Structure 1
Amino acid sequence: MTPETALQLADWRRQNAALYARVREQADPAAAHALWRDGRDQMMRSHPQSPLPAGDPMRASGVPYWPYDPALRWTVPVEPVARQQRLVIDTGPDGVTRFEQVGWVTLGDPVGRRVALWWLDQYGGGLFLPLRDATAGTTSYGAGRYLLDTAKGADLGSAGQALVIDLNFQYHPSCRYDSRWVCPLAPHDNVIDVPIRAGERLTQPD
């Protein structure tokens, strides 16, 4: 990695963390989501580490999302695990990525499913919550989307032992846009049979 690339990546993470900090300060979740969309679109459009290839139409149009749905936001307790799982995922030129399960979170109605919460067991560590729902492969990326990745600043906050979960903030990993990126995908315990029509989608709605 060149010094230029390293500084660009550090700036991307710095801007992303600052964006989520502003999101957490908002009292109105819908306004927070609009702020996040605008900030993310600006980064995707113009940052030198944007995963969008040069000339991609989404640099002008913005990334497509479903409308904000307030029913898909909860503050949920992190439930303990009876037996911790560890995953080692091949991420190509970056080597391997290691995860350790730290708990479960139950998504409230109308979803009603329990998914695994992971800890990124390298770098400085961080919470990681990917999700592959029943829209995957049709209206969202086939390998799933991310909701939390606190090592990279994607953090909606917490209250004591409970996490803020808002499925409207799901976003596609960089590998959805460009094959030069290799991304950890949703493990088995993060795959659900319910369609989540919220967050980032593949195409603009008709």
Structure 2
Amino acid sequence: MTNAEPATGTGGTEDGSAAERPARAVTAVQTADWRRRVFALYASVRRLAAHDPAEAHAHWTSCRNDLFSSHPASPLLPEDLEGFTGLPVTRYDPDWRFELPIHPAAEAVRMDVETGTDGVVPFELLGTVRVPLAGTLDVWRLSSYGGGLFVPVKDALAGRPGGTYGGGRYLIDTIKGADLGLDTDDGEASLVLDFNFAYNPSCAYDPAWACPLAQAGNTLPVDIPVGERYAGA
């Protein structure tokens, strides 16, 4: 979303409705361990991708399957854990990996996301990246405690049978560990955006979660056939 007015109601389930966090018996220590494992996973991904992005993707897919199937903080519902054989992730396609400069925002833009019991989470537009043959994506900065970059994406397959989650997927969410790489060596920031690593937000697995969803500035009018698909679509 790129207008200059505050935006509310941008978090929720696929249909945009607000939702509370799930009342599961997940402890703070279990949540912290989940985060620690995700941060470590993406550190491995960045290291492996420097030489072999496909190997990094295979490692990412395998480790996420292990986490989702066995960790007590998994967002999967109990009925979805029964017979779980892996997340629906496509094979790696190198044509969807880019390193793109961040073009600074021309004006201050704020996005306020209502996330149930966490209250309103504020984001500020940092800039945009131009994806070859696809369009432009907004790059957001979390402006509350912890900071972090956030890049969701919604493509033309969203909500279609066999397609992607209707509310969009996440590419970058650095405060949660999802970080594919940032280069500032030449004085200008550039992001590694590899759509093969696009993944579903928690609300795609459990509608009790409230998630920031991709708005107009993070919607691309093309099919993005790589990354995690949505089994419910």
What is the TM-score normalised by the length of structure 1? 0.93
- How far 1:141 sits from its partner (Å)? 0.7
**CA apart distance, 1:202:** 1.4
Does 2:204 align with 1:176? yes
Q: Which runs of 5+ in 2 are unaligned?
A: 1-22
Q: Is the 8 A contact 1:81 1:104 kept in 2?
A: yes
> Match of 2:20?
none
Q: Which of 107, 130, 135 does residue 131 from structure 2 map onto?
A: 107
SS of corresponding position for 2:107: coil
1:5 CA displacement: 1.5
The one of 66, 73, 79 equivalent to 1:42 is 66
Quote the offset at 1:57 in angstroms. 4.9
Match of 1:196 in 2: 224
Corresponding position of 2:142 = 120
Q: Is the 8 A contact 2:26 2:72 kept in 1?
A: no
Q: 1:67 to 1:2 in 2, by over 3 A?
A: closer
Q: Distance in 2 between matches of 1:203 and 1:45?
A: 16
Aligned sequence identity (%): 48
Count of residue pairs the alignment pairs up: 202
Of structures 1 and 2, the one scoring higher in RCO (CA 8 A, sep 6+) is 2
Q: Which amino acid aligns with 2:152?
A: P
Q: CA RMSD in A?
A: 1.9
Q: 2:101 is aligned with what amino acid?
A: P
What displacement does 1:46 show?
0.7
Match of 1:60, SS state, is coil
Q: CA deviation digits over 1:63-99, x for unaligned, max 9?
A: 0012211000011111111112101111112211110
Find 1:68's aligned residue among 92, 97, 112: 92
- Cα shift at 1:149: 0.2
Q: Deviations over 1:162-189 (max 9, x none)?
A: 1111000000000001122110101210
Conserved 8 A contact 2:26-2:73: no
The equivalent of 2:107 in structure 1 is 83
How far the C-alpha of 1:3 sits from its partner, in A, is: 10
2:143 alignment partner AA: D
Q: Which amino acid aligns with 1:46?
A: S
Pair 1:165 & 2:189 matched = no
